[in-house]
Structure 1
Amino acid sequence: MILNKMRLIPVVMLTCLLLGGCQQETKKAGMAAPGPVEVDVVTVTPQVAELAVELPGRTAAFRVAEVRPQVNGIIKQRLFVEGSEVSAGQLLYQIDPAVYQAKVDSAEAALARARAVEHSTQLKAERYKVLVKTKAVSELDQIEIEATWKQAVADVASAEAALNSARIDLNYTRVTAPISGRIGKTMISEGALVTAQQSTALATIQQLDPLYVDVTQSSMELLKLKKDLSSGAVAGDTAMRREVAIILEDGSQYGETGSLEFSDVTVDQTTGGITLRAIVANPRGELLPGMFVRANIVSGMKADAILVPALSVSRNVKGQAVVMVVNDESNVEVRIIESGRNIGDKVMVNSGLKGGEKVIVAGLQKVKPGVAVHAIERETPVVGMVTGQTEETQAVAKVE
């Protein structure tokens, strides 16, 4: 019996080894044929895009007037509240008018004396004109009296001019606002001596409604835009490009839409930029001169813009922008593209892709070129007005 049992042991062990080998072969056979990898794709579709550049800049007052005295004297009164709104012609300072009032009185007296002399010589000249006919006076006397009368008329005109000058100086003792706007702090107090055309301004008035927004655009970007407009790659409309949206420092959009006034004709040699000036309404006084803002200026329309999600774009070892696409054979293919501006979470593709191609947006880490995949289409929402950034400027696009 013991001998029979010992003979059965090798048979059992061989049977177990055969069964274990069959199970391993079954597992290997099951792993040898994996299915295609699932990836999310977006089908590229040309879209109509409204392009705009987002440029940094600062606000500036629409008008700035420095108030200075035009006559010498002592400041008697300050008649405004610092930081308040003033109207053109409003009295701001009163200079002591006593000296200038005396000059006006003296000029009036001189004018009255000149007029009296002129009247007397006029009567005498008219009398001599009658007497010369009867030879009662000589013609020489008549000519001299005529000349004296004309001199008296000139003296009257001179006295009138002196009186007008004195009155102007007297009026200048009333320092008024040259423009309407908000006045700043006063630099001179009551009792201070001021002089005509002094270098120190008494105060500064700034008109804040409307307000200028001065921004700088790269000359290279401007040249590229002009080339695109001339070639038809970007459609432009003058009225459309004049609209400017203002974005405040906190990222919120200003409630009023401005308009582009002009573009400077000179490039700044230090920055290589061109100054653009926009004008925007400021009825509530929310904007102040010197504030940092960003201006969205519409530059044109691109009828066949290609936009892909930014997460689908990577760089190769040469620094070139690449995307993974699924070809007609459902295999992965690397495509080198020329990327343009960022528009929100998307990138505009200038070249390298065409409509209908499928770009992989998820599952990139699971695939490599040439691998068969199963593409699952991802829904892409319609994009409204979004903000993005290029290498040198920022951009805005509206996709319809």
Structure 2
Amino acid sequence: MTLMNRRTFLLPLFLSLALTACSDAKQGTDAPAGGSAAQERPPTPVSIVTMEKGDFPITRILPGRAAAFQETGIRPRVTGAIREIAFKEGSAVKAGDLLFQIEDDTYSAALAEARASVAKAEASIPSAQANLARYERLVNSGATQIEFENARVTLLQAEADVAQAKAALRTAEINLDLTKIRAPFDGVTSISNVSIGNIVTANQTDALTTLRQLDPIYIDLTESSTNLLELRTAMASGRLTGDPSEAEMTLKLEDGTIYPHTGKLDMSEMAVSETTGTYQIRAVFPNPDEIILPGMYVRAEVTLGTEAGYLIPQRAATRNARGELSAKFATNDNKVETRVFPVSQVSGNNWLVTDGVAEGDRLIVDGFQWIGDGATVAPVEATVNENGLVVTAPTDAAAEPAAQ
């Protein structure tokens, strides 16, 4: 091979090696900067709420169902044919209003007969009285003692006949009056189960209609026996202040709207169900507009009293496998730590805890789902409104990154 040929062969080889060396040098220069950037991950922004101790209400959310304050099936007390239906089905009636009229011709005749019997019985009274007085004068001058006693018995029998006739008259008057079936209290009627001309019998099983009083109205609630024991323990220890029997109650209706009136406890069942482990509470609510109807399902929020502690919004808390409440906090050096609270109470949309929290601790309320214990965070001051939504303060949000 000539010298010229060797130069032609070696020149491309030298150029290739030079380009490779330059590329390796460039990669070596860039690699440390890239690795350092990967290691220096910026802190995760999270919304925090500063813990403040206070007295907060202890509440319970209980399922319930509405029941009429008074309810009765209207039944006849005498037998006869329905002559008149005097109410509009589904309308409101007042106590004493006429609902049904039963044919009363036979009862009117019975009343007239009873009056005649009274008059007949009363007519024998004067004669018996005069006869007794005559034998009383002659008992020692011709009349015997037996005749006198007989006259006295005759008068007593006449008076008894009058009393019996008057009782029959009163019965006839009552029966005639019972042909008019009236409302026993203010309420709302249901559909009539009879028509004009139908024969009804005294004290029959089937009701002619149903009358319900809707204002006020009962709400039947159920509570677990476990919560009952916890409540009694809290009261005995002095942690819970207030009288649960005076607790105010608010309702949420089936469509999610808040009922505008508050209610009061009416009674508690002094027994626990053997099948469900719950006991029944009955509350009474005003219902002037008849918004709540019997049978409707509702949810009641009951304020049992107040207790001193710290509020943890429900959105910021979770439950572990043992059912204990847990939440994440930001430490002084902005590290994440998880705290567990074995004991907690419901307070509106929050959990109330008494142990494991101190004044000024920073609770993470948003962004905690993607961070673990020990992670570095960038806290941003925020608040949680009554709907459970996190509201970040703009000034604090701007100042926090600057401080970092």
**Cα distance change of structure 1 residues 15 and 63 upon mapping to structure 2, 3 Å threshold:** closer
Give the superposition deviation at 1:149. 1.2
**Deviation sequence 1:242-279 (CA, Å, 0-9, x none):** x1111111111111111111111121222211111111
Match of 2:198 among 167, 187, 192: 192
**Deviation sequence 1:103-130 (CA, Å, 0-9, x none):** 2222211211111112111111112222
Pairing of 1:1-400 with structure 2 (within 5 A): 16=22, 20=26, 23-24=29-30, 27=33, 31=37, 34=40, 37-40=43-46, 41-133=48-140, 135-238=141-244, 240-241=246-247, 243-308=248-313, 310-311=315-316, 313=318, 315=320, 322-338=326-342, 340=344, 346-349=350-353, 351-362=355-366, 364=368, 368-371=372-375, 373=376, 375-381=378-384, 383-384=385-386
What's the TM-score, normalizing by structure 1? 0.82
8 Å Cα contact 1:240/1:298 also seen in 2: no
* Separation in structure 2 between the aligned mates of residue 37 and residue 14 of structure 1, nearest angstrom: 39
**Secondary structure of the equivalent of 2:275?**
coil
* Separation in structure 2 between the aligned mates of residue 23 and residue 180 of structure 1, nearest angstrom: 94
* Separation in structure 1 between the aligned mates of residue 306 and residue 154 of structure 2, nearest angstrom: 81
What's the TM-score, normalizing by structure 2? 0.81
8 Å Cα contact 1:83/1:182 also seen in 2: yes
**Cα distance change of structure 1 residues 287 and 137 upon mapping to structure 2, 3 Å threshold:** same
**Secondary structure of the equivalent of 2:90?**
coil
**Secondary structure of the equivalent of 2:139?**
helix
**Deviation sequence 1:68-93 (CA, Å, 0-9, x none):** 11111111111111111112222221
* Separation in structure 1 between the aligned mates of residue 109 and residue 94 of structure 2, nearest angstrom: 30
- The CA RMSD measured in Å over matched residues stands at 3.3
The one-letter code of the counterpart of 1:247 is K
**Cα distance change of structure 1 residues 127 and 47 upon mapping to structure 2, 3 Å threshold:** same
Q: Which moved more, 1:43-52 or 1:29-38?
A: 29-38
The one-letter code of the counterpart of 2:87 is F
**Secondary structure of the equivalent of 2:303?**
strand
**Cα distance change of structure 1 residues 89 and 15 upon mapping to structure 2, 3 Å threshold:** closer
The one-letter code of the counterpart of 1:292 is Y
Q: What is the percent sequence identity of the aligned residues?
A: 33
8 Å Cα contact 2:245/2:265 also seen in 1: no
* Separation in structure 1 between the aligned mates of residue 261 and residue 125 of structure 2, nearest angstrom: 66
Q: Which moved more, 1:136-145 or 1:181-190?
A: 136-145
**Cα distance change of structure 1 residues 150 and 233 upon mapping to structure 2, 3 Å threshold:** same
* Separation in structure 1 between the aligned mates of residue 27 and residue 374 of structure 2, nearest angstrom: 34
**Secondary structure of the equivalent of 1:245?**
strand
**Deviation sequence 1:132-183 (CA, Å, 0-9, x none):** 34x0422321221112111111111111111111211121112112222111
* Separation in structure 2 between the aligned mates of residue 288 and residue 32 of structure 1, nearest angstrom: 64
**Deviation sequence 1:29-49 (CA, Å, 0-9, x none):** 864873762543433333332
Unaligned runs of 5+ in 2: 390-404
The one-letter code of the counterpart of 1:189 is S
**Cα distance change of structure 1 residues 115 and 386 upon mapping to structure 2, 3 Å threshold:** farther
The one-letter code of the counterpart of 2:292 is L
* Separation in structure 2 between the aligned mates of residue 33 and residue 176 of structure 1, nearest angstrom: 88
* Separation in structure 1 between the aligned mates of residue 222 and residue 186 of structure 2, nearest angstrom: 29
**Cα distance change of structure 1 residues 380 and 152 upon mapping to structure 2, 3 Å threshold:** same
Q: Which residue of 2 aligns with 1:390?
A: none
8 Å Cα contact 1:215/1:275 also seen in 2: yes
Q: Where is the strand percentage greater, Structure 1 or Structure 2? A: 1
Give the superposition deviation at 1:342. 6.6
The one-letter code of the counterpart of 1:338 is P
